[in-house]
Structure 1
Amino acid sequence: MLSQHSRYALKALLHLASCNRVGPQPIVSIAAEANVPRKFLEAIFVDLKRNGFVNSTRGPRGGYVLTRPPAEITFGQVIRSIEGPLALIGCASQKFYRPCRDCPDEGACALRRVMMEAREQLVSVLDNRTLADATSDDFCVVPELAPAE
């Protein structure tokens, strides 16, 4: 099951993807538009920045932007960066393989075969769907800037 952390990260990234040409998005706007608690979102953006998905700028016109075009960021990349492997068990993972301790014959294991098939199906969707695939430019709400004094 996808963790709340990953769900909120994807919602925030989808918001940024829809606002990609508008400029930096303040965390307050992202939290409101993506319906994510601000405090939780602050921690999520630390992870997203560390994993190379977003950059931040400070100041009155500051906020967060994607580091790459939305068409270059897949759901699979984001989920792996937060959750780790997409496979449900270690012996079915391609990128994070580890054998099961209780399995005497991995080649004959029916559980592994089914889990590998499940992983393949999941990977085929998540690694082939980008943020751009899931957004439209109509979604972005340009944040109101406070008048200069």
Structure 2
Amino acid sequence: MVITLLVTTFVVAFAVATLVVLIFNKPIDSILRQVLPAELCPAWAKYLRFAIYVVGIGGGVRVWDLEKYLTAQEPYNAIVPLTGERWLLELYQTIIGTLQSITIMLLAFFVFALIAVVIVRIFEKRPSKSPAVNAVVSETDRELLSVKN
């Protein structure tokens, strides 16, 4: 019965992670296109989707929590029975755990992406070297060349 619960929580966590990937697919792609070169975007997007699955399943399938259905627990030294109510509670905890884990990961991604977008925009608005600076550099180069000769 515990193995069935483990497999069921895995399937539910995988389904929730898939739903999150489908919802956030376009925002992830558009943010990565603004921050990274075009040839790197698909690889980073694929990695981020993989991370959503790993973090979501890891947060949703709580293997250490299923121990209470296998060994006697304090204070009564009894094994907790797997009733219908327990199944429902475990599935609810799986959904919430999956969403919490993915939310923390995506929040970190979006914060760092926002910082990267701001940095990119600052450097885009930065003025290029003015002609006067180029003229000074050119004059200095001429002086150095004349000294060497």
TM-score norm. by structure 2 comes to 0.28
TM-score norm. by structure 1 comes to 0.28
- Structure with bigger helix share is 2
- Structure with bigger strand share is 1
Structure exhibiting the larger radius of gyration computed from Cα positions: 2
